[in-house]
Chain A
Amino acid sequence: MENRSLVTIAKHSKEKILYLLEMAKEFEKKPNRRLLDGKIVATLFFEPSTRTRLSFETAANRLGAKVIGFTDPKVTSSSKGETLKDTIMMVSNYADIIVMRHFLEGAARYASEVAPVPIVNAGDGANQHPSQTMLDLYSIYKTQGTLENLNIYLVGDLKYGRTVHSLLMAMRHFNPTFHFVAPDELRMPDEYKLYCKEHGIRFEEHTDFTEETIADADILYMTRVQRERFTDLMEYERVKDVYILRNKMLEHTHPNLRILHPLPRVNEIAYDVDDNPKAYYFQQAKNGLYAREAILCDVLGITLDEVKADTTSGMC
């Protein structure tokens, strides 16, 4: 059988991305179905990530699957020195899909090569987190009605932020204009700027973050500026309050602007923004459920047509 694992969406075609978004849309219309009735989904979290795990487990449950797995590697045999391969082979005997989060980069790729069942990458170190990218794309698509020709502002930690890098790469099909708003120490790495040039993606860089900077935005994607990323703590003290979004900055922004954040947030979005209709980060997290339902179906070979034709409902 062809391995249908989802390790990265960096190589997905435009058609495949739009296809998965269409499928997510079907699940938003009706999240509870029995498409995975009788299936077992294993969630193997070699590093804790409560948010991602709950989202995947909810997706599996709403599709009628049963869930097994672990949330803390300290209680598993990997702490006894078992290799990743052995853990994956063992769990493959029980489960129809393995959703895995790992602290090592490339772990999901390797698992997908040894496992007889599909692997869904729920984050491998600083490398890839495709379901996050899918839900970001879905949130943009849903709020803007299209992915084409948008002004997307990425704000905060653009150096280490895995989500912004994946989003940038996935958006290459859709003629975006990016604005990178970051302090010098955390600016977008050259390899991604090179990627933009190679793929004809327009971008501008800013170090200031003001009402004027974001006046033209369709999407404002906020990330957290973490203290531990700075070698120079003076620099951190200087910039830590610069990249905070406050409600008054949104007054003259476009009506279609939506604010996204991969969460957890600390202080980079002031609480007075939450009640602004342009705040979208909590709905964004909810979209993760639909995106992950689509991903679980796709790796098992369940097609969009089958999802559309499906008349089942309710959980087990």
Chain B
Amino acid sequence: MKKKELQVAALKNGTVIDHIPSDKLFTVVSLLHLQDVTANITIGNNFESEKLGKKGIIKIADRFFSSEEINRLSVIAPNIVLNIIKDYEVVEKKPVIMPDELEGIVKCNNPKCITNNEPMQTRFHVIDKEKGLLKCHYCEKEQSKDNIKLL
């Protein structure tokens, strides 16, 4: 079988974040604080994807992410896959897993919630991973991940 042409240059060591929905690409950039990373970063968008139609891809040289950092992405793009590259080879594929709790990522929709009125971190319990249902640890209001605002 003919090997498919790579759409962006190969990476020696680092992380490739693949299958990012095109409209979420820059949210991923900001959630991982990539704007502050000094290593080489290649960002591509609107590539063809069988699964998504259009997808984004990010390649970050010499940078590996903790599970906590990766799982932050679960609220916006649960199907993202991270490929860990060592010496041009994919040594590990890390799926994004919705954590039981989300701290400091999502804004509470309730304007009367203490988190929207105090300089403090938000905290949500994920009460239904399939439906993406979150419950604010403080005001106890529930919200769906489909209408969340990120901080």
Contacts and interface: CB of A to CB of B under 8 A. Distances in A.
Contacts, number: 49
A83 B115 CA distance: 12
Contacts of A103: 112
A124 B142 CA distance: 17
Contacts of A8: 140
Contacts of A83: 118-119
Contacts of A102: 114
Categorize the interface residue count of chain B: 10 to 19
Contacts of B110: 105
A316 interface: no
Of the listed residues B115, B117, B137, the one surrounded by the most CB atoms of chain A closer than 10 A to its CB is B117
B112 A105 contact: yes
B93 interface: no
A274 B102 CA distance: 51
Given A85-B118, A85-B120, A105-B114, A191 B142 contact: yes
A103 B112 CA distance: 8
Contacts of B115: 106, 110
Given A109-B138, A110-B138, A127-B140, A104 B113 contact: yes
B20 interface: no
Interface residues of A, number: 18
B127 to A, nearest CB: 12
B119 A105 contact: no
Contacts of A125: 112, 139
A110 B114 CA distance: 8
Nearest to B108: A106
Given A84-B114, A110-B118, A110-B120, A105 B141 contact: yes
Contacts of A126: 112
Given A84-B114, A106-B114, A110-B114, 19 more contacts: A83-B118, A83-B119, A85-B118, A104-B114, A105-B110, A105-B139, A106-B115, A106-B136, A106-B137, A107-B114, A109-B114, A109-B138, A110-B120, A124-B114, A124-B139, A125-B112, A127-B139, A128-B140, A191-B142
